[in-house]
Amino acid sequence: MRLVNCILLGKEAEGLERPTYPGDLGQRIFENASKHAWGEWLKHQTMLINEYRLTPFEPKARQFLEKEMEKFFFGKGSEKPEGFHSED
């Protein structure tokens, strides 16, 4: 098991087994995010795709999601869409 100092959790946690996203951003996530943090991003990304009715294979949607991913892990967080209410 690989441990990382998770940027999202603020503590040491189990790291990803391999980079889950290409390029420099994917490498930074691999080095600084835990499996748990990646799972949280996947839930958040799904919410963004659904709420904004994104088509992930379209370049504009991919660019938007990548910017949100950057904010989620390394910025002040990715915002939920205005008026979004979780069913949790």
Using one digit for the tens of pLDDT, what is the confidence trace for 14-34? 999 999 999 999 999 999 999
Q: Give CA–CA dist 76/64, Å, rounded.
A: 16
- Provide the b/e sequence for 42-55 (b: ≥16 CB within 10 Å): eebbeebeeeeebe
- What Å distances lie between residue 52 and 10, 38, 60, 76, 80, CA to CA? 30, 21, 12, 20, 10
Of 15, 12, 71, the C-alpha closest to 41 is 71
- Global pTM value: 0.87
Question: What pLDDT score was predicted for residue 80?
Answer: 73
Decide if pLDDT at 9 tops 80. Answer: yes
Tokens of 10: 């603020």
Q: Domains along the chain? A: 3-74 (1.10.3880.10)
User: What pLDDT digit, counting tens, does each position of 50-80 carry?
Assistant: 999 999 999 999 999 999 999 999 998 777 7
In this structure, which amino acid lies at residue 47? Answer: M
